[in-house]
Structure formats: structure tokens, C-alpha cells
Structure 1
Amino acid sequence: MKIAVIGGGPGGYVAALKAAMLGADVTVIEKRRVGGTCLNVGCIPTKALLASSSMLMNIKEAKDFGINIDGEVKADFSAIMNRKDKIVNQLITGIEFLFEKRGINLVNGFGKLLDKNNIEVTKEDGTKEIINADKIILANGSVPIVPPMFPYDGEVVITSDEVLGLKELPESVLIVGGGVIGCEIGQFLRSLGTEVTIVEMNEQLLPFEDKDVAKQLQRQFKKDKIKVLTGIGVQACEVVGNAVVATLSNGKQVKAQYGLVAVGRKPNLSNSGVEELGIEMERGKIIVNENLETNIEGIYAIGDLINTPFLAHVASKEGIVAVENALGKSKTVNYTAIPRCVYTEPEVAAVGKTEKELQAQAQEYHVGQFDFRALGKAQAIGHFQGFIKILADKNDKIIGASIVGPHATDLLTELSLAVHLGLTVEQVGDVIHAHPTLSEGIMEALHDVHGECVHAAPKLAKA
């Protein structure tokens, strides 16, 4: 069985490796380097940068831990970016090594569908090659959305693609969009000294999370002296000299050295051959069935091309399922427990339902919450801002959770497992959690659902 994968991102390369493991003859078509947005200009490089800013903050706070550091502590922007590049290159090399060991054929070029079995690949030098396959996995990924009002030039008005390649630390930046990208990049740049303004049309940062979650992050941003303007849009934007000038919906203007447009992403389907082949689409996304197959038999679509969350781990899971189905199985993806992670300080992590979703659906639910401040481990490490919140339905089943605080993205796994398996508050809360750990907070929050948290003050009865 010949399988061709268009796109070498976290959906495409995982699909290719899985297909090779299952005995298929696999070809991956990738215009740039393998790893996609996530590895090259997304998840991994941003986390590398945030690790550097976190180290800087730890050093600056060392005195609070009884450690005296003599001399000035300074960040070397070039060294930080070089470290990021080194990490990215190591991981790309690792994927290429796995491709070689699994016998995967990597073709560098732009892939365009010709029909259900053939892909035209245009190489960098302009030459073309036809790749034939029995089954095709579309994993083209996504590109940043840039509304027409922004004079995008990739130099002054930029997207997440360009911001991670800056050669010098900006003096100031206007970030349009207070989602994951805007918050992570904004806090990183601010920690190094950049003047940062974030403008978000919605009433809060991280619009898809609960208000109490966003409030914690906004409180930290205030301490960081990041200017956050919520409930305000951008009416006009222009480049004046070497600066961006944005006119906001409240009539005020913001001027900055750079304008970072971080309002979302869209499927990367330009000149892909999808429409010409008659693959069904809706609102710019490919329609697939529960097996991730399009209306054209033998062609599957995954990741940012379809109407599922634009997350690397979702794309990877879909890649595995699509390949298994292409090779004769009938698998589906369970989307009940998709982790949502933001790597700011404090970290934000969530899974399943939010309170505002449940309220909009008029669904009965119960809440348990515990503050990190009350945990011995959190106090010991000096990171105690935030809380753990757990949502349970009327049958005691855990249906959602949010964590704001230290190592939130790692702590979330226990609750993701609980939501995925449909476990109850009683079942998970009965598990003995090690002391002293941050994960104790999960146990305490679970106990709080039923008012049984021994480390919390009694709740006052409502009048």
C-alpha cells in the first residue's frame, strides 16, 4: 500500500511514521523543513524562548530564596534566539532520522492534488515530479490570518512566523489578539524589556476560557507592566516611517516599533488542488466523516485543515487515526478531553467543558476549587499564584477542569485522563496523592466539589 502525506507537521509526520510502522510504502511531501508550524515557528520555539525568560525571572528572584548574585543580570537576545534555533534544529534532525530509519521517502517541494491518486510536486528549482499513491493524507497545516486592514509586510507589521526570527529585541510592540500566541509572545518580550501593548476585541484575555482563569493572567500582566486593552478593536492601522500606528475603536492611537497580528489561523489550502478535485468544504475547512475521510474515497484530511481545534496534539492523534483507517481499520478520535495549554507565567491549562459553556447550555454542574497558595509545595518553590478548578455533572462525572499556576500544563494530564475515561469526582478524589506536591491541589479541589476539603475554610451559607 502506497500512502502519500502532504505536509510534514505534527499531523503529517506522525501519520507518516505510523503508516511506515504498519508496513506501508510512505512518501511525505513538505515544502520547507519537517516539523511544520509547531516545530519551526510555533510550539517548540516559543517554549524555548519562554524557558529563557523564566530563567531570567528566577535569577532576579534568587534573593527571595536566600541566594545573592553579584553583578548585573542581563539577557542576551541573540544568544536566546540562537538557543531556540539549536533546539529546533535538533528536533528536526530527530524527525529526519526517524524517517530514514523507517524508510520514509521525504520529497521537498510544494504538493498539489491532481486526482485521487496523484500529486504534483513543484521543487524549489521549478522542476516538477508526480507522486502516485493508493491513499493520500492531507496535512497541509495552517497560516496566520491577517485581516485586510493591516498593512502586512513581514518587517514592521508581522505575524507569529516573523516574530520568532527577529534579530534584535524590539523597543515596543503592539500585539493585536490576546489569545495564546499574543499572551506568550507578549510576556516573553516584556520580560526582556520590550514595551508591550495587547489589544483584544473580547472582554478578556484567552476568550475561550472562563473569566476567573483569564483574570489571573491579566493580574500577572499588570504586575509585568504589560498594557492590556480588552473589549477594544482596531479600526485602522498604518506604517508611518518605521513604526506602526493603530487607531482603536475608542478613538485612541497606539504607536509601536512592531505590530504583531495574532488574531488566529486558517487552513493552508491555497493552490492545493482541493477545490478543483471537488473535495467538499465549509467555511474554508475540509469536511470529513468520523473516519477523517473526505468525500473523495481514499483521501483523508487532518489537523488544521478540518473543523477541530488547531492544536499539534490533536493533529497528531488525527494523523494516527487517518492512517489506520486508510489501511483498513475503522477508528475515530475522541475529542472529549482535548488539553488546552498556555505557557505563560502563571501557566494556564484546561480540558473539557468551561463554566460559561455549561451555563450557556443550562447544564447542571458542581464546582470544586483549591488555591495554590494553600499548598506547602507551592509556598516552598515560591510560585503560588492561581488555582485548580474542577467541574462535575449531576452524576459526579468530571466533565471539565482549569488550572492556573505553576506547572499547570503538566498537572492537567491527570484530569484529562479523568475526563477522557468518564471518571467521577469520588473515584479520582479517593486516590492518595503524594505530599508535598503540586498535584495535591487536584485532590483538594476534588474533595471541595462535595465540601469535603479538609484544608479549606468552611464555605459560608448563602443568605
Structure 2
Amino acid sequence: MSKNPPQTAINSPIMGGNSTKPSFNPTKHPYQYDLIVIGGGSGGLACAREAAKLKAKVAICDVVTPSPKGTTWGLGGTCVNVGCIPKKLMHQSNLIKDCFEDAPTFGWNIAQNQTVKWDVLRDNIYDYINSLNFGYRLVLNKEGITYFNAYAEFEDEHKLKLTHPNDKTEEISAQCIVIAVGGRPRYLSIPGGTAKDALCITSDDIFSLPYAPGKTLCVGAGYIAMECAGFLSGFGYEVEVMARSAILRGFDSTVVDLIESNISSRNVKIMTATHPTKITLEKEGEPPLLSVTYENTEQKTTNEEKYNTVLIAIGRAPCTPGLSLEKVPHIKVDSEGYIITDLTERTGYPHIFAIGDCAKGRPQLTPPAIRAGNWLARRIYEKGFKKVVDYSCIPTTIFTPIEYGCCGMTEDEALQTYGSDLIEIYHKSASPLEFSLNKRDGEAIYAKLICLRKRGKEKVIGFHYLGPNAGEITQGFAMAVKRKALKDEFNELIGIHPTCAEIFTEMRITKGSQIAYVQTQC
């Protein structure tokens, strides 16, 4: 769900160029397996399962190192266990709270001042995720994939050393190896904020926290910090966000301003140009009491505040340390540990690949990792299949209380790339019909289309939507942006009334005209 980075194209001879068809014969080699996948997340599972469907003999290795707080989980990776799935469910719980508040206006007699039962929500989410973990185990067994619940590290370019949780070790080998180890949250490098201190939590811990988080400080400016701040505030906890600079950098600035205004109106305090310098434990307990010393770089002040929970969301690091990559020296990594690949996901060895969050230049999103794993297996084992993943123009959604979906360029990116003379921006705001009776303040839809003028036509190169059901709306319109639709084609499309999405079929006001773009209702 992070902003899409540019696609990495490697053409060095050591990486075999950009050939889209590795040549492997799974029936003629001396190794135990045709394919071993290191990592049981979304991308790794997709690769292993697709290869198995194509009659390859496949093994997958996956085990989770506990977080400093001791949180661990089963098969399925970050998205299933401590990412997209539990986040969306907690976001949904927050939306239900909004519906409770709206209910009397719509004729329902529902008691006000409802409070969330943290333990019930947490346990129900855990039970659901546990069922998914179990389901993956069953599927792997059914599809003939060998599952090793063990740490894997390279012995050489075809051989891996596995270390099981009971410290038992063994070696396995394969003709091809896919690295799909993903990433884990980074910690702060301040007293009390390191992983070793174990005072703070990350997104690895929040969804299974054994106690209600209480007053919470979210450190970070990205979508994880903002999403967590949104649903925690909705649950009634006091929440503050501390960011070194502006929030949600890389996303459309107009939309970000609206998100900041909305989340602030929901009692989330956002402190920019601010960073913690020291965290200390004041009192143990569930929740504990922590003291945070922090500085404001603009005001040049130092302050101290107490919190029950400090959630660090300052980015993620690839889980490549520990793979013993020094034993496979042709695998190159950058300064942060991301593995460098060509367009076919290939590393410096023709039979070793890297996909998903651990590969350099790949969007840290689940669907691209799944597609990469699926198509990689098909390129290896399916005759005639040569497609490579196009990592451009990938749609994504931020599940803040008012949701934001986007696809393609932001306004700033478009202006910097093409210049203002070639860019036309259409935008519109309206109140959803669903909000007409309860008159929610600051809950209007905002829509923006960024268009490139070319040969007398306007091609849509950026889509941005702020409002209810952003993921569903963006997913549909992303096809139009991906297919290079023209603004005229959006105009010709007949909308479904009354819906939020129809706003994109009736956008006539340009940003440059400075005409009011707000209408009163959908």
C-alpha cells in the first residue's frame, strides 16, 4: 500500500539481461526439488502454488522471528497476519461506530456512547486469521508442496541450510530458488526506542495487543501510522501522531490536506516537524505508562508527554540479513538490503529470483507480489509464457477513516514531468447522499482527474478519490487509467445514480479556472 516506486530495470551482463524465458528442465537435474521458495507470504505462496500446478516439485520455507514484544504468527506473511487483513477489519469496526452515530437520524433507536471491547475485537480477528493460517497449510498439503517451518539460509547457489525451531538443521537443494522474505518494521535509534529496548510496539504487535492500547503515540508519517491513528481514535483512545515532516509524502497533496483535516476533526493530534528523542518506562502494567521526550525542529522546543502505547511506523526493512547472501556473491543488494533484480525478477544467478517487498524498486503491496510470484512460476515452467509484471500505474487505497484511493500520477508528479502547459486538472467535491441526513462536517467526497494534453485530446494519467468505498471505486476506474482512457470517455460514461462513483462521469471544472468545485449533494 505504499506509493508506487519506479520500476527497476537491470541490464547488466551478470544478470543475464532482461530475458523473459529462463530455460529449466525440471526432469533433468540432480537436486531434491525443482523449486524452493524462501518465505511464505502472499508472493511466495502464489509462486509455489502456481509452480506446483505446472507439475514442478516444490518446497516452501517459512518461519516468523518473534517481534521484540514476542508477537509471532503463522503461514501467510505480513498482509494476512499483521497487515492488510487485520487493518481492514479494525477499520471496518471504526466505520460501524460511525454508523451507530448516524443511526438515530435514520430512524434507529440505538444507545449512544457505545464503546469498543478491545479483547472481543482482537480475539475475533485472531481467530479469523488463525483459520487462514490453517487453510494455507491444508492447501499446501493438498497441492503436494512440502512445507518447512524453518529458517533458510544459503549454503551455495543451489543448496539451503534449514534451521528448525528446535535447532535441528538439515540441507535441501533445488534447481531454482525464489527469495520472497518480505520485510519487517524499522525501530527508532534513540534511547528506549530500539528493538532491544522492547518498550515500543509496531504494526507487528498492534492487532494482537493483549490489552487495550490506551493513550497512543503513533510515530511516523506514512499510511500505516495514519491508518492506525484513525481506527484507534475511533475506538475512543486518545491518539497523537508525531512526524518529522508532512504526512503521507508521495501522495496527492490536495487529498492529503483533506485527510489531515478530517482525521484532526476526529480528535487525532498531528505534530509535524517533531520527533522523539528518548522513551522511558514510567510504570509497568497493561497498559504500561511511558514517558516520551520529543523535539520540535521548527519551534526549537523540547517537551515531554506520557503515553500508554508508542507505536512506531517509520518504514520497513527487507528481511535479507540472515540469508547468508555472502555465500552467493552474485546476488547484489543495495545499501538497505534490497535485492537487485532485472525485469524478470532474476538476480545475478539465472536460477535465483527475488520477488515482493525484499526486491529493490518493487511496490510494497500484496497484489503486485502475488502477480510477480504467479507469473515467475509460469515463465519458468509454462511453455511460451513470457509476460513480465508492469509495476506502473498500480492502484492503491489508504484506509484512513475517510478513505483515499489513487492510481497513476499525483498532481505534483504530472506537473514536474510534463510541465503546466500540457497538464489539465479536473476536480469536484460533493456530499454523499448517505451523509445528507446526518450532516457530517468535513466528510465530502473529493475527486480529481489529472490529464495530459496530447494531439488535441486529454489522456487521464492520474485518478484520485477521497470518500466512502475508495478501494472498490478505485479498483474499477483503475482499468480506465491503465488502458489510457481519455477524459472524453469518462464524460461519455453514464453514471449510476445515486452513487459516489458517478462524480467521475460529470467533472467539468478545471483547477485552473478557479471556479468553485463544491456541490451540496451527490
Q: Scaled by the length of structure 2, what TM-score is found?
A: 0.81
Alignment partner, residue 253 of structure 1: 304
Shift of residue 456, structure 1, vs aligned partner: 6.4
Shift of residue 378, structure 1, vs aligned partner: 5.9
Alignment partner, residue 356 of structure 1: 412
Are 2:377 and 1:319 aligned? Answer: no
Matches within 5 A, 1:30-429: 30-32=62-64, 33-70=74-111, 73-149=114-190, 150-152=193-195, 156-203=199-246, 205-241=247-283, 242-249=289-296, 250-278=301-329, 279-283=331-335, 284-306=337-359, 307-327=361-381, 329-363=385-419, 364-373=422-431, 376=433, 379=436, 384-395=443-454, 396-429=458-491
Q: Partners of 2:414 and 2:94 in 1: how far apart?
A: 36
Shift of residue 78, structure 1, vs aligned partner: 0.5
Which amino acid counterpart does residue 14 of structure 1 have in structure 2?
Answer: A
Q: Partners of 1:25 and 1:428 in 2: how far apart?
A: 48
Q: Partners of 1:172 and 1:299 in 2: how far apart?
A: 46
- Quote the sequence identity (%): 26
Shift of residue 418, structure 1, vs aligned partner: 1.7
Larger RCO: Structure 1 or Structure 2 (Cα < 8 Å, ≥ 6 residues apart)? Answer: 2
Shift of residue 111, structure 1, vs aligned partner: 0.9
2:425 is paired with a residue of what secondary structure? strand
Contact 1:144 1:265 in 2 (8 A): yes
**Residue of 441, 450, 460 corresponding to 2:503:** 441
Q: Partners of 2:89 and 2:122 in 1: how far apart?
A: 9
1:126 is paired with a residue of what secondary structure? coil
Cα distance per residue 1:41-63 (max 9 Å; x no partner): 11111111121222122112211
Greater shift, 381-390 or 42-51, is seen at 381-390
Shift of residue 30, structure 1, vs aligned partner: 0.6
* Structure 2 CA distance for partners of 1:381 and 1:299, relative to 1, 3 Å: farther
* Structure 2 CA distance for partners of 1:321 and 1:51, relative to 1, 3 Å: same
2:498 is paired with a residue of what secondary structure? coil
Cα distance per residue 1:25-54 (max 9 Å; x no partner): 111111142210111111111111121222
Which amino acid counterpart does residue 263 of structure 1 have in structure 2?
Answer: I
Q: Scaled by the length of structure 1, what TM-score is found?
A: 0.91
Shift of residue 253, structure 1, vs aligned partner: 2.6
Contact 1:244 1:259 in 2 (8 A): no
* Structure 2 CA distance for partners of 1:153 and 1:169, relative to 1, 3 Å: farther
Shift of residue 22, structure 1, vs aligned partner: 2.0
1:436 is paired with a residue of what secondary structure? coil
Shift of residue 440, structure 1, vs aligned partner: 0.5
Shift of residue 94, structure 1, vs aligned partner: 2.8
Cα distance per residue 1:331-387 (max 9 Å; x no partner): 2111122122111210111111111112333433111212232x5466479775231
Q: Partners of 1:371 and 1:450 in 2: how far apart?
A: 12
Q: Partners of 1:50 and 1:316 in 2: how far apart?
A: 23
1:106 is paired with a residue of what secondary structure? strand
Contact 2:404 2:465 in 1 (8 A): yes
Which amino acid counterpart does residue 175 of structure 1 have in structure 2?
Answer: C
Q: Partners of 2:339 and 2:150 in 1: how far apart?
A: 22
Q: Partners of 1:450 and 1:385 in 2: how far apart?
A: 18
Shift of residue 171, structure 1, vs aligned partner: 2.2
* Structure 2 CA distance for partners of 1:162 and 1:9, relative to 1, 3 Å: same
Greater shift, 288-297 or 164-173, is seen at 164-173
2:500 is paired with a residue of what secondary structure? coil
Cα distance per residue 1:185-211 (max 9 Å; x no partner): 1111111221111011122x2112122
* Structure 2 CA distance for partners of 1:298 and 1:190, relative to 1, 3 Å: same
* Structure 2 CA distance for partners of 1:91 and 1:407, relative to 1, 3 Å: same
* Structure 2 CA distance for partners of 1:155 and 1:60, relative to 1, 3 Å: farther
Contact 1:244 1:258 in 2 (8 A): no
Contact 1:291 1:321 in 2 (8 A): no
* Structure 2 CA distance for partners of 1:39 and 1:381, relative to 1, 3 Å: farther
Structure 2: gaps (5+ residues): 1-25, 27-33, 65-73, 284-288
Which amino acid counterpart does residue 207 of structure 1 have in structure 2?
Answer: R
Which amino acid counterpart does residue 282 of structure 1 have in structure 2?
Answer: D
Q: Partners of 1:263 and 1:397 in 2: how far apart?
A: 35
Shift of residue 282, structure 1, vs aligned partner: 1.5
Shift of residue 272, structure 1, vs aligned partner: 0.6
* Structure 2 CA distance for partners of 1:450 and 1:51, relative to 1, 3 Å: closer
Cα distance per residue 1:384-408 (max 9 Å; x no partner): 5231111111122211111111001
